[in-house]
Amino acid sequence: MRPRADDAFGLLAMWDGQAERTVRIGMLLPWANVAVEDELPRLGLSHTVFHYTRLVPASRTTAVDAAFWHGLRSAAAGGLDALSPVPLDAVFLACTSAGFPTGPAPPALPPGVLTAFDALTGVLTHLGVRRIVLATPYPQEVTAAEAAALAAYGIETTAHASLGLADGYPTVTADQIRTLVRHLPPVALRTADAVVLSCTGWHTLPVLAELQQALGVPVFSSTLAMALYAARLAMGAPCEHQPK
C-alpha cells in the first residue's frame, strides 16, 4: 500500500477517531530531551494519555555515542519502576538512535519496552512503506547505521542526509531542517513512499505539514510515529511488529 500524500496526519486523526478505548503510554525520555513533551500534546490525540519520566545515563552526557545509548538502556528499568503505579498499555524509550546503537552490544531493555525506532519501523511496516528518504541531525555514521537497520525490516533508504551533529538537537531550527531536506536528491524524493525525519530530540512539528505538502509524500517524524503507534493501540489493533 502506498500512503496518500496526506496520510501522516490524516491517518493519525482517523485512527484516533476510531479508538475503542483510552490508552496510557509511558515515555522514558533522555534527560536532555525537551522536544517530545512539547510535540506529543500538540498532535491532538484524544484517546491517549502520555506519562513521562527522565532517564539519566551513567555517563551523564547528552551526545549520541555508545556510552549514551548504553546508559539510557541501562537506566530504563529504573524509569519503568518510577512509572509502575500507572497502568500502562505500552512504554517507549523515546530515543530513536537507542534502537539501533552502534559498537558493542547494548544492554537489553526491560521486557515490553519499545524504542522510538520500533515505533517508526512498526508504523512504516504496517503502511507498506518500502522506500524512504531519511533526514537526521545525527553524525553521518549514525545516519548510515539507521539506514542499515531499516533495511533489516525491508525498508530501503534511497537517500539520506544529516546535519552531522552529536549533540544540541533542541537548538536545530526549522530552517535547518528545510535546508537539509531540500538537499536530498530530487529523484529520490519523487520516488519515495515517505520521508522520515528521525530523532526525537529535534523539533520537527513546525515543518512536518509544510514539507508534506511541498513534497507530495507523507513525512513522518520519530515522535509522530510514536503517536501513530499509540493511536493504533487505542483502536485495539497494535502494529504488526516485533523489535529485532
Residue type, 143: T
∠ CA 82-242-4 to the nearest 5 degrees?
Answer: 105
Summarize pLDDT for 45-92 with one digit per residue, the tens.
999 999 999 999 999 999 999 999 999 999 999 999 999 999 999 999
Q: How far apart are CA 186 and CA 104, in angstroms?
A: 36
Residue 5 confidence (pLDDT): 44
List of E strands, the chain: 23-30, 48-55, 90-93, 113-115, 131-136, 156-162, 194-197, 219-221
CA-based nearest residue to 29, from 86, 75, 61, 67: 75
Residue 239 confidence (pLDDT): 59
Summarize pLDDT for 151-208 with one digit per residue, the tens.
999 999 999 999 999 999 999 999 999 999 999 999 999 999 999 999 999 999 999 9
- Owner of C-alpha cell 509511558: 26
pTM above 0.85, yes or no: yes
Cα-trace Rg, the chain: 16
CB 14 within 8 A of CB 44: no
Residue 1 confidence (pLDDT): 43
